Chains A and B, each alone.
Chain A
Amino acid sequence: MKKPRALIIRAPGTNCDVEAAYAFELAGAEPSLVHINRTISGQVSLRDYSIFMIPGGFSYGDDLGAGKVMANELERRLHDQLMEFVNRGGVVLGVCNGFQVLVRAGLLPVPFGGQRVSLLPNESGRFECRWVRLSVEPGNPCIFTRGIDSLDLAVAHGEGRLYVPAWTAAEIVPVLRYASSDGSEPVYPDDPNGSFEHIAGLCDASGRILGLMPHPERFVRSSHHPRWTAVGDFSQASDGLIFFKNAVDFALRA
């Protein structure tokens, strides 16, 4: 069976690209790491791929707002390629800085609908790296989270507080929410940034475009988990990999 091709795009300051490519490889895709300039110049075309990912990092240093400059490149220089890609049924994943880019480029929550929500500095005012508990929104259309109810993932960001103005609240399709271990309303640090309705990730109406602050590519083997040394329970778990496997499965069936 031919492996689906995944384009992992990077800009100056992107830094989670290698492990993202590795996760796609483990999941059965054929990943390519491509500098955004090569896509803009036309040397590499989105036409040849079925998965498009924007990994984490600090694109252009996050100068002028997290993901802002790269978002402008997507919106103004890759617009037609992206529209063709999305319309043909391609899947899009943005993790951390990639989520910030998707939001600012107007690909989420409504593809090509302009920027409607934002990701603001964490309520704590700090960059934070920690593992969080996430619950998957029941009945959401997202293709990436099929088969998972809840999972643990690492977050590492300074600007992850989802801000949703009243006029767009109805358009939001939540996929992942920060959760507490006992099911009560999550407060800091269970919700590490103070997001709107504790939302950690959201998708478009089709379920094929997902943006999330946590890093699924940082949990592709059991020993990634912070408690793997505690007991044998974690010997099989590598829940982050499911996101990538689901994307590959979807691309294979499409």
Chain B
Amino acid sequence: MAHRIEVALRDDLVDPREVDVLSSIRDLGITGIERVTVADVYWLAGSLSDAELRTAGSGLLSDPVAQVCGYDGEHVRETKPYSCAMETAYNRGVNDPLEYTILKGIQDVGIDGVARARSGTRYVLYGSCGPREIEMLTQRVLLNPLIQHVVEPGEDVFPIEPTYEFELRHVPLLQMDELERGRLAASFGFSMSEMDAVAQHFQSVGREPTDVELETLAQTWSEHCVHKTFKARIDCDGEHIDNLLRSTIMQATRQLNKDWCLSVFEDNAGVIDFDDDNAVCFKAETHNHPSAVEPYGGAATGLGGVVRDVLGTGLGARPILNTDVFCFAPPDMSYEDLPPGVLHPRRVFKGVRAGVADYGNRLGIPTVNGTLRFDPRYVGNPLVFCGTAGVMPRWAARIGRQQPGDLVVLMGGRTGRDGIHGVTFASEKLDDSSVDSSRSAVQIGNPIVEKKMIDALMQARDRHLYRRITDCGGGGLSSAVGEMGEKTGVRVYLDRVPLKYAGLSYDEIWISESQERMIVAVPPKNVDELMKICASEGVEATVIGEFTESRRLELLYNDVLVGDLDMGFLHGGRPQLELTASAPQQQWSGEDPAPAASLGNALLQILSSLNVCSKEWVIRQYDHEVQGSSVLKPLVGRDADGPGDAAVIRPLLDSTRGLAVSNGINTRYGDVDAYWMAASAIDEAIRQLVAVGAGLERVALLDNFCWGQGAEPESLWALVQSCKACHDMSLAYGTPFISGKDSLNNFSVFRGRTIAIPHTLLISAIAVVPDTEKVISMDVKSAGNALYVVGNTFSELAGSEYCALLDDAGKKVPEVRPEMACATMKALSAAINEGLVVACHDMSEGGLAVAVAEMAFSGGLGTSVNLAAVPLGESIDRDDIVLFSESNSRFVVEVPLSSVQQFEQRMEGIACGQIGTVIEDAVVHIQGLDGTLVISVPVTELKAAWKRPLDW
């Protein structure tokens, strides 16, 4: 029998949740609702006495001081009359994240008879609203139909445990005609040539494949797992490229051959040396498609996944920082402009933000920085980049090697039907029906399960209990175990995998993407000790198989061989993709806009643009201080609200050695020229590092390509150009790429209209900072100090915020002059390390004007600046171009008068001009090229404009 307990705040207390729900309802344009009350609902399966029920309510499920409980049919907090009441609960196939804690907690309070628990929420609406409005606000505010539903009166919220009758299924591939084979290929996500290769293989083996074998091949050969496009043979306007990744980005890393690169492009993350004793690994992942349909859960599991990448690198690293970049459509998009079946960008934004924050905060990993990009083309396909770095002893930096006889141990969460077909889903386009068809692809994470696993694994690593580790990510066990066993062979007993609920078939177990799971290869003699550690941390661990020397992947269920694949074929049998890339037919023909009427107003408007404005609302909801490692925070300056450049942390508490982390991304340039977009993103990431004082000596990069339709010839051409830029810049700056990721199908078709995202390349950069005591922040420090511009300005307005403001295309995008850039950055970082500079800010979106404004309002002081002193790379006679051009490799630098002479000496041979001074009067004054005052705006006004758009 099921009991129901309802819990809410006492009537006299304000529940911020209610305020939030009400404001979200108002956001929908529904004005008739005057008030909302919210209560938590718990259902407990089991027979409880009245006293026990009350103990559960007051002793566990509620706060006896501030909350009240209602038992079984009773309701609390709500008043009559109301216009509508409803209760939401998780759908039956969805794991209730609270169940484990309720069952544990209920035993703590001395109650034994509860077998299952579910949770939900009761909403009561007051005021007037029609059924259509109720339907709308239910679907858009109160629940996500993918995972939740409205409880019907008398409904049993407990899932019925399904049963599973084992039956081995073969697929009659060899008997199929071309048409049937095509259909089969489509259902597994194979291309035709891949399907033919599979058929040929089984022809030679002399039998039909089983379903789980086809699933394994489909997962292992998916774009998500093998990056087919990057490894394809490409005909690029006559140039033959065999494996784009290897011939560009990896080639540069190989050529640079840095001895501090310990493990590159071979493991879950790239690894560099930190201080001879410790190594640091870094990885950025995307979780785009799941975030489009279930923003909270999709984004949360994205972060959970990249953290496991770090945990599964080498012999395991401890996560030390997160850096997140999100791309959305503008949050003020009207509902009329919203394609059918798509969640509103504001909801996606809020859900993604909350999902990543809740997961990251609970894991205790500081989110040190990140950024947001807005473009209407992200409407159906938001991008969620999650980056994580970890630290490990240097001996654990390299990928491990198991031996035949080692046991396959599955640790962490249980396996359910979560995320089945997530990998092929991740590589497919979304359409109107995605919200319906992707149910099982959405996963619900539980960060505490992951935290416990991290705690257990770090102990096991330091006691050398396992020889190799990897995470269960896309493709689940099939990818993790299949990859791990490549060089030896592996046998897995699928019936031994612990399940969340009964009813999973052997192939579902094999490909499930349930979260919070890791695989370790454990010598038999160490298994007991590992199990002891796991038990003490409350982590489930199970031996599910063993590594063999057969070079075969053998899957068993109830002692029946259900899958038997040759590792050689599984990992080497995929036919290489052949693609064509071609340059766009039309040359870029944009023109620069006429000057804005008021440059001061233009500056204010650019500060208020979504891509430039303050992201404080997001940043503050992430813990950036946990672990006690913070040195430079995401928000800096007098009032701790200025936009910092790179973040700096000290990952080892007792060492001043640190890491600086930054991101570079600018999609607008890509509309003009993908090569310079990529080069600019690299320059931006690196110059943010330099701005805080990091040198170029030990900088490692990550690439993360998100393209709209990666295989389309023009789009692929842009991808090729970007990769070439990565190669060229990597060599020029001496900064190797150490890992990367791609997601190349981010487009949606709505009623025949295709919306593809802009070419998006995120460059994440990490630098080892030998002495964090020497880093500086971007806010101006003292009146009287000199201000310099370092780096040449060119007339490069295309793709700029200024052009976006004036709704013009612009003529030339910012290029990178790597030789000059490198010399500039090296000289500047040396000057910072000598202590000659007290503030430095890189120039990016909005150019010089925005950089000066941000430095001034972050420091609470004014500036007096003269544009005539700005070093120019070519002749420019327009103030607006000097102010708003987004040329790369430039900085604004504040130098105390006592250091001016030395600073200028250090900058010899570098483009550098003293453009003015910091002044007490808190106004940004800028004189034009002819000496007249062109901008004069109080910093309070500039700051207010910059803070306004996302001050939610």
Contacts and interface: CB of A to CB of B under 8 A. Distances in A.
A152 B446 CA distance: 33
A120 B357 CA distance: 19
Given A118-B63, A123-B14, A230-B781, A220 B628 contact: yes
Nearest to B635: A226
B560 interface: no
Contacts of A60: 101, 104-105, 448
B361 A127 contact: yes
A63 B102 CA distance: 8
Interface stretch (A11-19, A80-88, A142-150, A246-254): A11-19
B16 A121 contact: yes
Contact of B108 (A15, A18, A76, A118): A76
Contacts of A245: none
Contacts of B537: 12, 35
Interface in A57-109: 57-58, 60-65, 68-69, 72-73, 76-77, 104
Interface string A125-140: 1111111000000000
| Size band of the interface chain A makes with B | 35 or more
Given A77-B108, A224-B628, A124 B98 contact: no
B76 interface: no
Contact of A76 (B20, B109, B447, B451): B109
**Main SS of chain A's interface residues?**
mixed
Contacts of A72: 59-60, 105, 108-109
A18 B452 CA distance: 15
A76 B628 CA distance: 32
A46 interface: no
A45 interface: no
Contacts of B63: 65, 68, 104, 115, 118
Contacts of A227: 638, 640
B536 to A, nearest CB: 6
Given A163-B66, A220-B628, A128 B448 contact: no
Contacts of B909: none
Contact of A128 (B362, B620, B630, B781): B620
Contacts of B452: 12-13
Nearest to B782: A231
B625 A156 contact: yes
Interface in B25-70: 59-66
B418 interface: no
Contact of B621 (A61, A63, A128, A223): A128
Interface string B519-541: 00000000000000000111000
B640 A130 contact: yes
A15 B633 contact: no
B539 to A, nearest CB: 9
B776 interface: yes
B14, B364, B451: residue with the most chain A Cβ atoms closer than 10 Å: B364
A18 B364 CA distance: 11
Contacts of A65: 62-63
Nearest to A61: B448
Contacts of B631: 223
Contacts of B19: 125
A223 B629 CA distance: 10
Contacts of A35: 536-537
B636 A121 contact: no
Nearest to B778: A229
A156 B623 contact: yes
A217 interface: yes
Contacts of B364: 14-16, 57
A121 B104 contact: no
Interface in A3-17: 12-16
B781 A231 contact: yes
B14 A69 contact: no
Given A118-B65, A129-B620, A223 B772 contact: yes
Contacts of A117: 65
Contacts of A156: 361, 623, 625-626
Contacts of A231: 781
A177 interface: no
A18 B630 contact: no
Contacts of A163: 13, 65-66
B592 interface: no
A61 B781 contact: no
A208 interface: no
A38 interface: yes
Contacts of B775: 229
A63 B101 contact: yes
B180 interface: no
A14, A63, A229: residue with the most chain B Cβ atoms closer than 10 Å: A229
B566 interface: no
B448 A13 contact: yes
B64 A229 contact: no
A60 to B, nearest CB: 5
A124 B16 contact: yes
B614 interface: no
Contact of A226 (B15, B65, B633, B772): B633
Interface of B: 9, 13-17, 19-20, 59-66, 97-98, 101-102, 104-105, 108-110, 357, 361-364, 446-448, 451-452, 536-538, 619-633, 635-636, 638, 640, 650, 653-654, 772-773, 775-777, 779, 781
5 contacts: A12-B448, A156-B625, A215-B625, A226-B633, A229-B775
Interface of A: 12-16, 18-19, 22-23, 35, 37-38, 56-58, 60-65, 68-69, 72-73, 76-77, 104, 115-118, 120-131, 154, 156, 163, 165, 215, 217-218, 220, 223-224, 226-227, 229-231
Given A16-B626, A115-B63, 12 more contacts: A22-B653, A60-B448, A68-B60, A69-B104, A72-B105, A125-B17, A129-B622, A156-B361, A223-B650, A226-B636, A229-B776, A229-B777
**Lowest 9 CB-CB distances: which A-B pairs, in order?**
A15-B364, A125-B16, A19-B628, A63-B101, A229-B777, A61-B448, A118-B66, A118-B65, A156-B623
